[in-house]
Structure 1
Amino acid sequence: MSKESVPTQRTQRKPKLGDQIRSIADRLKQETDVQIKATSRILGAAAQISENYDKLVDEVVDMVEEDLNQQLQISQKYLYTADILKQKFKTLREAKAHFQLKVNSWESLAKKLNEPQLESDFRNNRQGKVKQGQKNIEKVNVILDPDVAEVFPNSEVVNAALRSLIIKKNNF
C-alpha cells in the first residue's frame, strides 16, 4: 500500500490585524524618535545662534564705545581757550581773519570755536554743501539732547559713531 504523499503547501498567511498595528506603531515610534532628535538638534543650534548673537552685539557695543572714547580724546585736544589762542596768534584781528569770524574778544572767539558745528566747519573748511563724487549733499544740523551731547561733544564724534554703525550694519 502506498500512500500518496500530500504535497505540503506553504501558504503565506496574512498578518493578523494585531501584527499590522504593532508594525505601524513601531514605525511611528522610530519616526517620533528621529523627530525628537532633529528637534533637539535644531533647538541646540538656535541656542548657539542666540548666544553668538548676544556676544556679537556685546562686541559691537564695546567697539563703538572704544571708538567714541578715542574720538572724545581727540576732540578734547581741539578745545580752545583765550590763552591758547593768544599764544597761537599775535593779535585778535589775525585770529579772527584766520577763522573768518566776527567777535569782540578772545573769550568770545574761543567760545565760538568750541561750538560743535562751527568747530567742525572751520577745521574741515566746509560750509553749506559738501561735494561727494558728482553729488551735492546738503549738511544736516541735528540738535542733541543734553544727555546725548555729554557723550557726543561735537559733530566729528557723532559722525564717527554713525559711520561705525553703518559699517557694522553693512557687514551683517
Structure 2
Amino acid sequence: MITATRRPAPPSHALHAPTFPVRTARPEEAAALADLSRPFVRSGALQERPVSLYAAHAADFLVTEAPDGTLDGCVGLGVHPAETGEGQGPAGVVYNFCVAGRRQGGGVGATLLRAVLAGARTRSLATLFTATTGGGGLFLRFGFAPATARLAPISWTESLDPRREARILRKALQLPG
C-alpha cells in the first residue's frame, strides 16, 4: 500500500481569484503612478510621494494596466539591508499599494500581492513588512500578521508618520530550495 502525505489545500482566494498581467513600472510612468496614488493620499491611506521618487524607484513598482494603457494598480517593494547585529538577511517593505477605484474587488490587488510575494522570494527576502491605516484584510488573508516596529527595518519605521497611526504587518516567507 502506498500512502501520500496530504498537502494543505490552497486558500480559497488563491483558487478563485482572477489574475492579470503584472509588469515592472517604467520611469516614464512616474506621473501615472502618482495619479493612481492621489485618491489614496487624499484619504490618508498613503503617504504623498513626489513624482521624482516614482521615477527614481520605478523598478520597485509592479503594475497592472487596463487595455487602454491606464494603470489599474501598483505596489512597491523596497529592500532594506540587514541591520547590524540582527542576524537576519535583508527585509522587504511593501509600500504604495493601491488599486484604481474602478478595479477594486476584482482581483487586481490579490494579483499584485501574489506577484510581490513571488518577487520577494526571488530576491531571497525572508521577511516582508507593510504599514496600513486600514484594516489590512488582503494582507491578513495572505498570511501577514500584526508586528511591532522593533522587528521592522529601523530606517523604514523611522520614515513612518506617527500621526497616521499605521499598523505594522509582517510576513515570514519560505524561501525556495
The reply to whether TM is greater than 0.5 is no
Which of the pair has the greater relative contact order for Cα pairs under 8 Å at 6+ separation?
A: 1
TM-score by length of 1: 0.26
* Normalised TM-score (structure 2): 0.26
Which structure has greater strand proportion? 2
